Amino acid sequence: MFAPIAALALAAASAPAVSAWGGVGHWTVGYVAMNFLDDNAKAVVADLLKPTETLAYVSVWADIVRNSAAFSFSREYHFVDPLDTPPEKCNYDDDRDCKTSACIVGAIGNYTARATCNNGLPKQDRYEALKFLVHFIGDIAQPLHACGRERGGNDRIVNFDGNANSKLHAIWDTAIPEKYLKSQGLFVSGNDGASAKNYADHLMTKINGEYKDKLAGWLSNKSVFAVNQNRNSLAAIDWATDSNDFNCNTVWPAVDKDTTQDFGGKYYDDAAPVVNIQIAKAGYRLGNWINRMFARCASAPSSTTTTDAPVVGATTTVAPVAASTTTVAPVVAASTTTTVAPVVAASTTTTVAPVVAASTTTVASVVVARSTTTVAPVAGSTTTTVGPVVVVAATTTVGPAVYNPYGNAAETPAATPAPSPSDKLAYGPYSTPAATPADKPAYGAETPAATPADKPAYGEDESILSGAFKSASVSAAAVLAALAAML
């Protein structure tokens, strides 16, 4: 049904050696997703990404830049902390657990709206939004990224294959998938890209085989643009609930039963199949999500300026959509009876003022009434029949269809997100959450802020940063330059 990806990309061969579900795992999610992109999605992705980049290659970007000043606001968007009590009770309650939208389910909703086309945002903002999405749809499939107990397992120290200082979170991110790859002869030491390519091909075999009957259940039936009253993605809430369940049936029961065990034994045997299926889920979901998110693009250019076809009966091309409210100039007929369709025009050629949406939604089409209407006589003439009549109120939003925040089959996007200010601290159309209090370490960073120089910043055995990326103050420009240098 689906063939594995062909040759290993050059980017993978030169990939930086990074670990965690931000290295092998995230690269694998990107590679799996690439198998499921339709032609339109491939074209839009290629337009947004740089020529040498792939979904796999950009999958770790969000982990790298969250330690920079420009993107430090994104640290808490990598997870959600449900206030449940695993393993006794596992459940995700959106009003209880992410009412402010400052978590992964809010981030997925926000960056979906920012990544899609025709939303009024610059290409660079859409590019960054796509990279965030690739990463977050991977993160939300990791059970401990939907767990509030002991900071998602970061505060639980366990013994894994003789390493008595392993974090529970880290073994799910890194040690378990890497041990599995080694057991299958798929691990390439020092090259996460190559390991991930092997892992993706391995999981594609499972997707075409033992996972095939499960695929439909991996997806949400919610629109990719649907959010709730908390501005959180309805589909992402489904995924957080799915991941959270594993905290009661796999992650924590054995921890509480025997805290001194070697977690590289039976615990690994039970957890490895879950890791495999969750990474496969994330890749399958990501491919489907991108297809649906970009379905409305139809190979449209990524520029925010759009020129509509000329209005029938007019000689003026409709100007690009403006962000402010403008009243459409009335059409005046100076002659006697005149039939005009579809736009009311004078007896001679008339220039019609641009149609402007009241919001920042891009004008997709002109809404036209379906019946013929008799209007009041125009001064100096007899009754004029006009049909059909263009329905354009002074403050009416014109196309696309009315957004249903609770989802519909049409997958209509929400209104255009507000552009981010230059300091990048605006969380899409929302305000950046207040800084994490000093008494609550930033869970998104997977480690307390004050990391000793002799201890990697990204967890005891999952240092995500390497080379030029190890500086917590690295600029976004330096990150991009370093990534480009690796190709």
pLDDT in tens, 117-163: 989 999 999 999 999 999 999 999 999 999 999 999 999 999 999 99
Instruction: Give the active site residue among 75, 114, 126, 145.
Output: 145
367, two tokens: 């809404």
* 170: three-class secondary structure by DSSP: helix
Q: Are 347 and 403 within 8 A, CB to CB? A: no
Assess whether 169 carries a catalytic annotation: yes
Q: Are 279 and 110 within 8 A, CB to CB? A: no
DSSP state of 126: H
Higher pLDDT, 292 or 335: 292
**Predicted pLDDT at 481:** 54
Assess whether 202 carries a catalytic annotation: no
Q: Are 230 and 101 within 8 A, CB to CB? A: yes
The string of DSSP codes covering 90-111 is: ----HHHH-TTS-SHHHHHHHH
Instruction: Give the active site residue among 61, 66, 149, 172.
Output: 66
Please tell me the least confidently modeled range out of 135-144, 272-281, 452-461: 452-461
Cβ atoms within 10 Å of 17's Cβ, excluding its own: 15
Dist CA 325 CA 276 (whole Å)? 51
Assess whether 289 carries a catalytic annotation: no
10, two tokens: 């050059």
The string of DSSP codes covering 40-64 is: HHHHHHHHHS-TT--HHHHTTHHHH
Instruction: Give the active site residue among 27, 61, 75, 78.
Output: 78
Instruction: Give the active site residue among 75, 114, 169, 231.
Output: 169
Determine the residue type at 105: V
Q: What is the pLDDT of residues 187-225, one digit of tens each?
A: 999 999 999 999 999 999 999 999 999 999 999 999 999
Assess whether 66 carries a catalytic annotation: yes
Cβ atoms within 10 Å of 167's Cβ, excluding its own: 27
Instruction: Give the active site residue among 61, 63, 192, 252.
Output: 63
Assess whether 63 carries a catalytic annotation: yes
User: Residue 329: which pLDDT band, with cuts at 50, 70 and 90?
Assistant: very low
Cβ atoms within 10 Å of 6's Cβ, excluding its own: 6
**Predicted pLDDT at 296:** 86
- Give pTM, 2 decimals: 0.64
Question: Of 113, 146, 152, nearest to 415 (Cα)?
Answer: 113
Residue 450 zone, left/alpha/beta (φ > 0; ψ -120 to 50; rest): beta
Instruction: Give the active site residue among 84, 94, 97, 173.
Output: 173
Instruction: Give the active site residue among 75, 126, 135, 202.
Output: 135
350, two tokens: 């008339």
Q: Are 423 and 134 within 8 A, CB to CB? A: no
